[in-house]
Amino acid sequence: MENFIRNKFLPELYSEMKKGTYELIPYVDYIYDDPKKGIAMTQEGPRYSSGYATMFHSYGMITENQIYRKFPDRVKSCYQFINVLANFVSTNSEAIKKSRLEGIKESMAFNNYPIAYQLDTTKFEMIEFKGFEVDKNQISPVSGLKRFGYDTSKPYTEKVKYFNFYAQTETIGVPEFYILPQSYREIIERLDLVKIKYSRLPNDTLINLTVEYIDDFSSPAKPYNGHYYHDKVSTHSEKQSIKYFAGDLLIPVRQEKIKYLLEMFEPKAGDSFFRWNFFDNILDQREYFSSYGFDANAFKYLNEHPDFKAKFDEKRKSDAEFANNHRAQLAYIYNNSEWFEKTWKCYPVGKIYLEQ
């Protein structure tokens, strides 16, 4: 699909729009204050309608009008674009359907899947850009102070760098199945809306699989679009034997909507269910210990586990702050014992790989 978009779809849309009154230009994602130095392609993830469409191997586009244009021009430009798009789709309908089927087939054979990208500034193409000269010395009519802006009396047309390649920075291995506990009703509703195929476990079952633990993440102090989006997520994986219950979901990953499943269920994917707070209950530690009440058990645990006691004593010798903190020493023992809450920060979606 990418080759079709880059080499056929977009070039023809730009060419046909240029024949009319209004032209197309990539959305200006600034990496420099002056577009003459170059502009970047916007990476549109699933939170955007165009990015959401790609999860289903569909072609999606978002149009946005230049703010300096009058309203009638904005309407007419959209009308022109719709006509150009409709003509292209009609003429190339078979090629579009073919590329989509090829994309689905390719995706279902994935062994690895990228979940993070970074703009590659070593790759670009030169495009024609129509803009206005930068003016860093405009005077604000409100404050009377200098402000950054563009001088609309000085238009220009120049070739500029368009950075439209993103390099993969992290990939994950594609599992064969996800297992989702039935208690996550809001997620199941969304799976049903997009017609994800799954079955339910007929009996309570002990399953050997891979689970991930959320090691760290950051969240904003204020909500964004009604959520506290989790950023900078780090995880580690463990193989465990976990009991699942009759009615829990067994979801085959290699189905037509594989990209949706990977983008939603891989916790580190950019717009995953985890990042948008659907699994926040796992971040709440429910089990603790009393510094007074646990002291005797901690002492007993050290005596019964000499190897661990040696590590504990070594840490006390090498870490002065730790050696002078009673609570920290008890926490070290508690967190490394069978009393520690194993489900805390354990991502509840299990993964089954071929080797399991």
* Residues whose CB falls within 8 Å of the CB of residue 319, separated by 6 or more in sequence, listed in order: none
Distance CA 87, CA 66 (A): 24
> Helical H runs in the chain?
2-4, 10-18, 49-54, 71-91, 93-108, 185-193, 258-265, 295-304, 306-318, 320-323, 326-335
Give the pair of three-digit tokens for residue 253: 């990953």
Distances (CA, A) of 268 to 97, 213, 237, 265, 274: 31, 11, 12, 9, 8
Per-residue pLDDT, 2 = 82
Q: What is the sign of the dihedral through the CA atoms of 137, 138, 139 and 145? A: negative
Domain boundaries defined on the chain: 2-129+160-169, 174-285+343-352, 295-335
> pLDDT digits over 94-131, tens only?
999 999 999 999 999 999 999 999 999 999 999 999 98
> Sign of dihedral through CA atoms 125, 126, 130, 133?
positive
Q: What is the pLDDT of residue 202?
A: 97
DSSP H helical ranges for 19-70: 49-54
Q: What amino acid occupies position 252?
A: P
Bridge partners for 249 per DSSP: 180, 200
Q: What is the pLDDT of residue 28?
A: 82
pLDDT above 80 (res 200): yes
- With the CA atoms of 237, 239, 243 and 244 taken in that order, what torsion angle do they form, in degrees rounded to the nearest 10? 60
Maximum Cα interatomic distance, the chain, rounded to a whole number of Å? 84
In percent, the amount of the chain with pLDDT more than 70 equals: 100
Map tokens 């022109």 to a residue. 80
Could you count the other beta carbons within 10 Å of the beta carbon of residue 313? 12
pLDDT at 84 over 90: yes
Q: Is residue 280 scored above 60 in pLDDT? A: yes
Question: Which secondary-structure segment (H or E) carries 241?
Answer: strand 231-244
Q: What are phi and psi of 169, to 5 degrees?
A: -115, -15
Q: What is the mean pLDDT of residues 285-314?
A: 88
**pTM for this prediction:** 0.87
The pLDDT, as a whole number, for residue 286 is: 79
Residue 235, both tokens: 């995880």
In the prediction, which pLDDT does 356 show? 56
Q: What percent of the chain has pLDDT over 90?
A: 81
pLDDT at 288: 78
3-state DSSP assignment of residue 14: helix
Rounded to whole angstroms, the Cα distance separating 219 from 224 reads 10
> How much is the pLDDT for 67?
77
Pair of tokens at residue 144 = 């009377």
State the pLDDT confidence band at 354, using cuts at 50, 70 and 90: confident
